[in-house]
């Protein structure tokens, strides 16, 4: 009888400990709902705050939005675990940065992105552009390629069909219909270049930072999805519940509604068409 009683006491103790352990796991689960999402200050931190954070909060998350002023620290913080996700970069930048720094990063979902545009204070339409007009273009290869693709879409230049569209450059131009003069400039200075040149190809993030209206561009790029920004996580977390919830929030109707109301002129990725 004593042995039976002792056995029952041991079983009860184990059950009590298990219950305590279960409560601890539940508490930890709640802690996992506290997340940090990084974004560059401006339109993309606004996108997280206005279009992503509310949806995640409805799913029980507590979301802190961390703003950055450069394009290096958001990935460094993500890799170190200081962030759960970030939003500021396109695929080409993500892959290059990850390779250079020995990281494993994965994009979860592509979001609407401010497109590069052709701006001018001298012309009000593409048709008005005169022979020999000067155009400021980005001096870095990735953004320069985007500029030349816009010019081709607008019928101003013809590019070598054999050239890689992601790396196309001035040397790939086989026809320059209006004899445009190209002036390579650091991308961040392009909004100012609108004053000093006939035309300027300005990346969307710099245009918005300079309070330019995307819808006033003479032409906006038909942006390949590889150039659109995406929500990024560490590869080891790409199948996590948080990752699934972020994708669900971004693909919800409410997300697109906020984009249409608050982010006019942003180009939508193919999945939203």
- State the sign of the Cα–Cα–Cα–Cα dihedral 24, 29, 30, 32: positive
Q: Residue 95 class from Cβ within 10 Å (0-12 exposed, 13-18 middle, 19+ buried)?
A: middle
Residue 6 to residue 28: CA distance in whole angstroms = 33
Q: How many domains does the chain have?
A: 2
Distance between CA atoms of residues 174 and 67, nearest Å:
43
Q: Residue 165: give its domain's CATH number.
A: 3.40.190.10
- Model confidence, pTM: 0.79
**Tens-place pLDDT, residues 26-75:** 333 445 799 999 999 999 999 999 999 999 999 999 999 999 999 999 99
Q: Is the same domain home to 189 and 230?
A: no
Tell me the residue range of the domain where 238 lies. 32-113+226-272
Residues in the chain: 273
Cα 71-77-79 angle, rounded to 5 deg:
105
**How does pLDDT run across 147-159, given as a tens digit for each residue?**
999 999 999 999 9
Instruction: Please give the angle made by the CA atoms of 207, 263 and 114, to the nearest 5 degrees.
Output: 40
- Write out pLDDT tens, residues 185-243: 999 899 999 999 999 999 998 999 899 999 999 999 998 899 999 999 999 999 999 99
Query: Which residues have a Cβ under 8 Å from the Cβ of 243 and sit 6 or more positions away?
Result: 85, 108, 233, 237
Q: Identify whether residues 191 and 230 lie together within a single domain.
A: no
């Amino acid at each position: 009888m004593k042995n039976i009683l002792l056995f029952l006491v041991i079983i009860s103790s184990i059950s009590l400990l298990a219950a305590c352990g279960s409560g601890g796991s539940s508490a930890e689960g709640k802690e996992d709902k506290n997340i940090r999402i990084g974004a560059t200050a401006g339109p993309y931190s606004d996108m997280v705050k206005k279009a992503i954070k509310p949806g995640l909060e409805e799913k029980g998350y507590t979301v802190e939005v961390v703003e950055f002023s450069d394009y290096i620290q958001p990935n460094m913080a993500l890799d170190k675990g200081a962030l759960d996700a970030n939003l500021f970069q396109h695929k080409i930048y993500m892959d290059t940065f990850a390779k250079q720094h020995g990281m494993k990063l994965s994009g979860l979902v592509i979001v609407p992105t401010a497109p590069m545009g052709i701006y001018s204070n001298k012309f009000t339409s593409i048709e008005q552009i005169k022979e020999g007009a000067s155009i400021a273009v980005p001096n870095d290869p990735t953004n320069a390629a985007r500029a030349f693709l816009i010019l081709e879409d607008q019928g101003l230049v013809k590019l070598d069909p054999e050239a890689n569209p992601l790396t196309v450059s001035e040397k790939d131009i086989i026809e320059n219909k209006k004899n445009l003069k190209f002036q390579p400039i650091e991308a961040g200075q392009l909004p100012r270049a609108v004053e000093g040149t006939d035309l300027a190809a300005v990346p969307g993030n710099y245009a918005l930072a300079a309070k330019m209206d995307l819808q006033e561009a003479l032409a906006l790029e038909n942006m390949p999805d590889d150039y659109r920004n995406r929500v990024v996580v560490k590869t080891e977390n790409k199948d996590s519940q948080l990752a699934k919830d972020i994708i669900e929030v971004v693909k919800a109707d409410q997300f697109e509604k906020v984009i249409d109301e608050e982010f006019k002129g942003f180009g939508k990725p193919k999945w939203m068409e």
